Structure 1
């Protein structure tokens, strides 16, 4: 015979048995569910397994189908007017004194060239593939002429100064001063940031899938120091000095021989710019360059 307190305790134990049983059955169900999930994960086909972080980043750079916001193929360059070179074939009629002067200058070009220590943020390497994994030829086959707008020292200071922001980065391969100074900003093997949104005769290379293409991957860039009266937005100025044009012709002749680059592939920033904002080099005397390249035997 149970006393009242013991009877109450016994009654409570009897009433809690269904709850304990339910909790136990629920726990077993959870364990079975977890086991099934683990088995399903283990049996997932290999091709469906999660990619590694390295693969994900590689796919992002190559513009794979996982990046729905990026195109899968390089955009086609917009139609542009074909470049008509002012330079003409010339094998005769060169000035003997001009030829001798340029030949002497060519012989000492390397000794006269000042090599600039350009900050790495202002240039890049030439690509063997575009941003979409397609092979491209990085060999220089185009020369683009520019002008500095401001003085030579200002341009040099720009190139040796770090520019972490993409929109601030700019460089050429060679600068030519008003007195005929030759400053190598970059070795031709490097990719200069001379022209942004640009194309030449329907050719460009897209190195950033988020941006339009550029000629930089296959171009050499030469910039002439602007005379003092050209430090403005006018359409022209007094032009470039004879010493400047002599040095320009010698550098161009050297590039044309090394790679080789035909005269028809010497153009201007204005001609390759797709934004219609660039006008350089203003007041450039193509006939003066014609005489000098002919004297150096590069137009025959």
Structure 2
């Protein structure tokens, strides 16, 4: 009897287990079908999303990825070696006495009204920029203005000013000076001296340049002040010389240089020419420049006698 009872209980357990297994299998099948449907719907939705325009987040991620890639490219390169130093012997000599009294009196009078005489013109932002304190490779740069590069306009002052006021999106077209001086002595300030004017492209002074863009060769622009003289009418050509600059221009030039020397503390020996700093050998300005005329005026302003 006991054996029969055990057998009966065992059969019941087997039946219940069979039913449960069927239920589990059925549920499992339903679950698999459900998951398959969800996967299909999810895939269908993904395809639909891919066919839509990218979202703002997608675009930002793309830009970020491109920026990271560009940064990695820069990090993998090395900054170019500075150019060979070309010596510069300043034509300006030390002078602590022997000033021309008439020149001194005239310039001192003009010096008192210099601020009122200077005219400011807004240069288009594409034609100037900030001075950098670090190059693309993370190395420090000294942006302090410490060299003056003299230029000439070749054409009229108005033509030069109009060029600087015109937007130039392309890097090769961007150009500016900090200050331009007209034939009549008019002083036009175009770029704040604390900003970087684009006066000299591929250039260096005493073997120093600053590379501020990994795609562009170095230049003096990051630590230079650029001053240009309006070219006389007979110089609107490519000849090597012309009739020279006016007495009024040399007066204004000396006054602006004296102001910059006092403000930034560089020596007159750091006043040079575009021709000298140009590494491409394509520039010859300022043509027909008379250093003696500048010597007389800076001497009278007591700018050539070290303290």
Q: TM-score range by the shorter chain?
A: 0.7 to 0.9
Cross-structure match for 2:287: 282
1:173 aligns with 2:198: no
Cα deviation, residue 276, structure 1 = 0.1
Larger helix percent: 2
Cα deviation, residue 57, structure 1 = 5.6
Equivalent of residue 67 in structure 1, options 65, 73, 82: 73
Cα 1:165–1:102, aligned 2, differ >3 Å: closer, same or farther?
same
Equivalent of residue 234 in structure 1, options 224, 231, 239: 239
Runs of 4+ in 1 over 6 A off after TM superposition: 52-55
Structure 2: distance between partners of 1:58 and 1:141? 33
Structure 2: distance between partners of 1:224 and 1:167? 22
Determine if contact 2:145/2:264 at 8 Å carries over to the other structure.
yes
Q: Which has the larger radius of gyration?
A: 2
Q: CA offsets, 1:160-213, max 9 Å, x none?
A: 111111111100000000000000001101100000000000100001101210
Cross-structure match for 1:268: 273
Cα 1:59–1:104, aligned 2, differ >3 Å: closer, same or farther?
farther
* Structure 2 unaligned blocks of 5 or more: 1-31, 33-38, 40-60
Q: TM-score, normalised by structure 1?
A: 0.79
Structure 2: distance between partners of 1:298 and 1:56? 53
Equivalent of residue 116 in structure 2, options 92, 111, 115: 111
Cross-structure match for 1:27: none
Equivalent of residue 206 in structure 1, options 207, 211, 230: 211
Number of aligned positions between the proteins: 249
Cα 1:60–1:133, aligned 2, differ >3 Å: closer, same or farther?
farther
Cα 1:90–1:163, aligned 2, differ >3 Å: closer, same or farther?
same
Cα 1:59–1:109, aligned 2, differ >3 Å: closer, same or farther?
farther
Structure 2: distance between partners of 1:200 and 1:213? 11
Equivalent of residue 149 in structure 1, options 137, 145, 154: 154
Equivalent of residue 221 in structure 1, options 213, 216, 226: 226
